[in-house]
Amino acid sequence: MSLRRRTVSTVLIALVAAGLVRGAAAADRSTTHPAVELLDAQGRPVLGSGAPVSPRTTCGACHDTSFVAAHGYHVAAGADERTAPGGVSDGRPFDVSPGPFGRWDPAAYRRLSLDDDERFDLGVADWVRTHPRHVGGGPAEQTAAGRPLAQGGTRTETDALDPATGRPVRWDWAASGTAEPDCFLCHLATPDAAARAATLARGAFRWAATATLSRTGLVEPDDAGGWRFVRGRFDPDGTAPSARLPLRNPTSGACGACHFEATDDRTALGAAGPWSPRDPRGAGQVFSSQRLRDSGFNLRDRETLDVAFDVHAARLVGCADCHGSPSDPARPASGRAAAPRHLVVDARRPSVGEHLRAPSHDFGKGVSSRGHAARAHDGTMRGCAECHDVASSHGRWLPHAVRHLDALACEACHVPRVAMPAVETTDWTVPSPDGRPALAWRGVEGRVDDPASLVVGYEPVLLPHAGADGRTRLVPHHLATTWYWVAGPTARPVRAFDLVAAVSDGAGGWHPDVRAALDSDHDGAVSAAEQRLDTPAKADALARRLVAVGVPSPRIEGAVDPTAIHHGVVDGAHAVASCEACHADGSRVARPFEVSDRVPAGAVARLSPDAAVALPGAMAPDGRGRLVYAPEPAQAGRWVLGRDRPVLVDRVGALALVATVLGVLGHGAARWVASRRRKEAP
């Protein structure tokens, strides 16, 4: 047996012995992972070479990192499903993948350029710099043809945007290196995501994983923009002590570094300031065991909010307990996806050693309401009914339980409100001169960044959505609208560089023409309230400016994007349990939902093409200039007892009543007449 294989075996056995095979995230936060030697990309100890840490070789000493990268949709980000422009099912004509790499996201706005784009917006290097939530690897390492990025490729892969000229320039991949899949980002107890993001933004991609280690004390920034290793903090044999490099199964907090607001931190949420979610598109969802009243947020009726942000988190269920690795022997995957129809669950599981050597990172997922990346893994997560005996717990009190469970997702009642604010409108039609969109938040009275503003949360809208079992049920959703300029025959969004060129004066201020159009109160400034195109004159002024910077025939479009609400679950005591909540006038099922706080002049918003929900009902501006969606369950074939009143039944009933009364009166009259006649008869 070679030394390397012996080492691998020893470490795997040590891992097993150390209990790292434990499945549940709640308990598996130990730091019993053996100490590791940090290696560079060539497999040399970094203490000797001084080169960046390579997770691929460091972790690859025991784990099959190539397998992990190939079986992890967080790595691929949709790049493994790349198509020609327009080839994405339910995508836009210029989308090249169903995932974050290649699918245009109106809220994030910037768009990966196509090779034939006249106006270059985002090369691969720009995408890596501006998407620190990507874990690395995949498109951050390789071209679409599977070659290293440094070996050249298409223009999108070789070039980056010159922010001064707006033109593409060659990106020096040899100098920047590439961003490897960063195991430390999720598996280190103390990752420094901010340092990694800053390193990526600086274009020092090969140092990104090293930057993630900055909180361990093993590394510190050097004067040349890189990082150096602090020898005195390593063990004498050159390994990084596990006390400094605590590696473990990912916790909910690790997932929360990117996904909305998931945390297992015991520090009160909001203690550091007002609501500022790491993922603004998380629709205000929070996955935390903390009670709302213990948070630092200025919540309405806070003292009465004894409920936890999420009851699952409060009961020690972590992200990975439902969204676990399908190869984890401690977490049998969802029976539906993993087994043929005749089996409840496929009992054949990889051994602990097999899993540790090559753990699948295609984590269990549901069926997204937006975007279609990694659809092969739809329905692989652990659903509610796989833990809860829903029928028995609801059958005792809920009338027509089967019908309710057939029509409603569990979240429809168990997420009655979303506690925190969510971005309702992202308006790119008039970005600020430094390129930021105007944002409007729901669920807060006042500015979201003001700690004194009252946080009230919001009630999500119930939309039909097909789940993993193929059944369409009502699922709580958030709807957010993005307004933006498009141009050209394929209605490509106007690139951010041109937008800024149109609204700014080149010195950080508003362009005079834009200021003159927007400054309604003539105070010489454009306030937040004025930063919107609510009249045709203002829209025309911006359109003229866009034409002036070279954008042909600009026009405004709106995209409504749904976000399904699956987190922020409350227990039965706090769930919707009143019949009148749905089966009466003002039913939750048909309650109007404000989709945008504004409608730019002449613009129309539509549901994004990749949305996997329907909007039965009408979406139209109201009298106050807001875009409101009014659900109509009947259009989706749903009859809501107590709310819906079909006219025909009402009329038949009225006719029956009248006929009965007339019949009784007629019969009575006839008998009265007959009796008179009998009396008068001789």
- Residue closer to other proteins by CB (options 293, 336) is 293
- Count other C-beta atoms under 10 Å from residue 31's C-beta: 15
Report, in Å, the least distance between residue 302 CB and other proteins: 13
Question: Residues in the site for other proteins, rule: CB under 8 A?
Answer: 19, 22-24, 26-29, 251, 264, 266, 289, 291, 306, 308, 313-316
Position 111, amino acid: R
Sign of CA dihedral 85, 88, 93, 96: negative
The answer to whether the CB of 456 falls within 8 A of the CB of 443 is yes
Per the DSSP assignment, residues forming a β-bridge with 628 are: 594, 620
Helices (H), 347-473: 352-357, 384-387, 390-395, 401-407, 410-414
- Residue closer to other proteins by CB (options 304, 675) is 304
Report, in Å, the least distance between residue 21 CB and other proteins: 12
- Residue closer to other proteins by CB (options 300, 315) is 315
- Residue closer to other proteins by CB (options 247, 502) is 247
Report, in Å, the least distance between residue 314 CB and other proteins: 6
- Residue closer to other proteins by CB (options 308, 461) is 308
Report, in Å, the least distance between residue 16 CB and other proteins: 15
- Residue closer to other proteins by CB (options 255, 461) is 255
Report, in Å, the least distance between residue 310 CB and other proteins: 11
Sign of CA dihedral 243, 244, 250, 251: positive
Q: Which two tokens stand for residue 416?
A: 């009655």
CA distance 440 to 458: 14
Nearest to 138 by CA among 65, 89, 197, 222: 65
* Beta strands at 286-287 and 555-564: parallel, antiparallel or unpaired: unpaired
Output 629-636 pairs: Cβ under 8 A, ≥24 positions apart.
629/461, 629/479, 629/560, 629/592, 629/593, 629/594, 629/595, 630/590, 630/592, 631/461, 631/462, 631/463, 631/589, 631/590, 631/591, 631/592, 631/593, 632/590, 633/589, 633/590, 636/464
Report, in Å, the least distance between residue 565 CB and other proteins: 22
Report which DSSP code applies to 263: -
- Residue closer to other proteins by CB (options 54, 251) is 251
- Residue closer to other proteins by CB (options 265, 519) is 265
For the packed helices 536-548 and 496-503, what is the interaxial angle rounded to 10 degrees?
Answer: 110
Report, in Å, the least distance between residue 295 CB and other proteins: 14
CA distance 101 to 125: 12
Longest dimension (CA), the chain: 134
Report, in Å, the least distance between residue 266 CB and other proteins: 6
Dihedrals φ, ψ of 250, to 5°? -65, 140
- Residue closer to other proteins by CB (options 242, 596) is 242
- Residue closer to other proteins by CB (options 24, 352) is 24
Report, in Å, the least distance between residue 135 CB and other proteins: 22
Report the half-sphere exposure of 629 (CA within 13 A, side-chain side).
27
Report, in Å, the least distance between residue 383 CB and other proteins: 20
Dihedrals φ, ψ of 105, to 5°? -110, 115
